[in-house]
Amino acid sequence: MRHLICLVLIILIGSGCVTASSVPVDENEVGLANTLPPINRTIATEPITLEVWLDLDFTRDNTLYDELAEEFEAAYPQVEVEIFSFVRESIPQRVKQEVLSDVPPDVVQGHVYAIAGQGLAEPLEDLWAAWETTNPDAVSQFLPAALDEVTWQGQRYGIPLDVYTIVLLYNREHFDQAGLPYPEGNYDLFSLRQAAATLTIPEENRFGFGLTTDPWYASAWMTSAGGDLLVGNANEGYTLTLDSTTNIEALRFMTHIVESGYAPRPTSRPRDYEDARAQFLEGEISMYFGEPQDIHLIQSTAPGFPLGVAQLPQTPARERAASVLGSSGLFIPRGARHQEVAFEFMKWAASDKYVVPMARRQGRFPAKVWLQTSAEFTKNLSLIPFFNQLKAARPYRLNLYPEAEEAFWDAIKTSFYDLAPPAEALQEAQTTGQQLMEEKTP
């Protein structure tokens, strides 16, 4: 059967549904198959159709999850796996709709912490406990920060899959031509702005920097300056802090880069962070904040590109400075009917058998403790800033409250398009977001 089913949603960009057609690479890793969990003989033998929802960015032009489905079906002949792929940003709302309609899928990929906090995921402590009886390393194999991202109020609601953060990508050739030092060592925001000015060449339609309105990316500017969008915790509750002085100054810095002509004005469309990457590859911008999968994409599709990678510029926040942490995991939506077999599938997907090729083929790096010491990945020197930045990356929590996150996004767009100054825009977002949070507290 054909496992991968692409569904086009309103925010899907490009041509929409893409059938995975890439030829699997030679994994060249003896023993990866031995990382699979043992067959669970307690799984019921009656026929089961397992509905799995994955991030389209993980399945587009990639056969890995078809391979996983086929091998899982071979181990569990009574199970038929159907994989559906959606644009990442659309998944939480779709899950909510299906849970409320009492027809949830069996396994979903997403930010588990936020989904669990909204009451849309099943607690999995019993299944985790059973796993630990058969595998003493069930918990210790994962990065603690990634485990935190699948844990809500002390209970685990999912299994970590990948981990990522924001780093600075730059064009070494542009820096060389301008006689500028690379953005390393004690590089700070003042140096960044000066470099953006120098690298901007209007007559060549080239800008020094590229920006996005995406809330997760924008939050990296705030956290690197020592700011927070939310303060608190799952047990005691969260307080919105969008209009803090630090956040206002960070957004003002971003908009100033655009107003000064050092960066093109972001389009504000969904996923406009992809625009910066495309402009970077075309030589139209010299720097942007990107993710590790950007590094992989550039190195695999444009191996001759003069790519440089650095940690985020230093700010006066010092030890409070951090990038933003991202991590997706697999969870079981509330009310799903095949929870035991769903958890087995999740264990398979998170095994080294599949997450190692996930890193090799896609640049989606596993949330495993061996990641930052793996000789295979650390020999790629462009990834070292990513590994180092992971040590100073703060979890993103604003998507716990989708309406407040949207208010924050609106404030960013309002500021970039000169509809209101950053202070006014963030104060409006704070008022709107706080009211919505009080109405819909997880």
CA–CA gap between residue 114 and residue 112 (Å, rounded): 5
Strand partners, 210: 288
Identify whether residues 272 and 407 lie together within a single domain.
yes
Identify whether residues 152 and 174 lie together within a single domain.
no
Identify whether residues 40 and 119 lie together within a single domain.
yes
Domain extent, residue 178, equals 165-324+398-439
Report strand pairing: 287-290 vs 79-86: unpaired
Identify whether residues 143 and 176 lie together within a single domain.
no
Residue 14 lies in a domain: no
CA–CA gap between residue 107 and residue 333 (Å, rounded): 7
At 194 the three-state DSSP class reads: helix
Instruction: Check residue 313 and report its DSSP letter.
Output: P
Q: 272-278: which pairs have CB atoms within 8 A and are 24 or more residues apart?
A: 272/212, 272/213, 272/214, 273/212, 273/214, 273/217, 274/13, 275/210, 275/212, 276/210, 276/211, 276/212
Identify whether residues 138 and 255 lie together within a single domain.
no
Residue 13 lies in a domain: no
Identify whether residues 182 and 96 lie together within a single domain.
no
| Dihedral angle of Cα 295, 299, 304, 307, to the nearest 10 degrees | 10
Look at residues 390, 407, 426 and tell me which one is the last residue of a structural domain: 390
Residue 278 lies in a domain: yes
Residue 403 lies in a domain: yes
Report strand pairing: 167-171 vs 287-290: antiparallel
Burial, 120: exposed, middle or buried (Cβ in 10 Å; 0-12, 13-18, 19+)?
buried
- Which amino acid type is present at position 422? P
Report strand pairing: 107-110 vs 48-55: parallel
Which residues of 344-413 form beta strands (DSSP E)? 393-395
Identify whether residues 346 and 317 lie together within a single domain.
no
CA–CA gap between residue 208 and residue 196 (Å, rounded): 4
Check residue 438 and give its pLDDT. Answer: 82
Residue 15 lies in a domain: no
Check residue 14 and give its pLDDT. Answer: 37
CA–CA gap between residue 289 and residue 209 (Å, rounded): 9
Residue 22 lies in a domain: no
Identify whether residues 346 and 222 lie together within a single domain.
no
DSSP character string of 233-261: ETTTEEEE-TT-HHHHHHHHHHHHHHHTT
90: domain CATH number? 3.40.190.10
Residue 23 lies in a domain: no
Identify whether residues 193 and 115 lie together within a single domain.
no
pLDDT in tens, the chain (442 residues): 445 444 433 333 333 332 222 223 334 544 676 789 999 999 989 999 999 999 999 999 899 999 999 999 999 999 999 999 999 999 999 999 999 999 999 999 999 999 999 999 999 999 999 999 999 999 999 999 999 999 999 999 999 999 999 999 999 999 999 999 999 988 999 999 999 999 999 999 999 999 999 999 999 999 999 999 999 999 999 999 999 999 999 999 999 999 999 999 999 899 999 999 999 999 999 999 999 999 999 999 999 999 999 999 999 998 899 999 999 999 999 999 999 999 999 999 999 999 999 999 999 999 999 998 899 999 999 999 999 999 999 999 999 999 999 999 999 999 999 999 999 999 999 999 999 888 765 5
Residue 109 lies in a domain: yes
At 308 the three-state DSSP class reads: strand
Q: What size, in residues, is the chain?
A: 442
Look at residues 371, 390, 409 and tell me which one is the last residue of a structural domain: 390
Identify whether residues 204 and 152 lie together within a single domain.
no
Check residue 372 and give its pLDDT. Answer: 87
Identify whether residues 145 and 155 lie together within a single domain.
yes
Number of independent structural domains in the chain: 2
Rg (CA), the chain: 22
Check residue 23 and give its pLDDT. Answer: 29
CA–CA gap between residue 30 and residue 94 (Å, rounded): 39
User: For residue 352, what are the CA distances in angstroms to 26, 32, 346?
Assistant: 15, 6, 12
Strand partners, 142: 368
CA–CA gap between residue 110 and residue 161 (Å, rounded): 9
pTM given for the model = 0.92
Identify whether residues 240 and 310 lie together within a single domain.
yes
Strand partners, 323: 393
Contact predicate 111/149, CB 8 Å: yes
Contact predicate 434/408, CB 8 Å: no
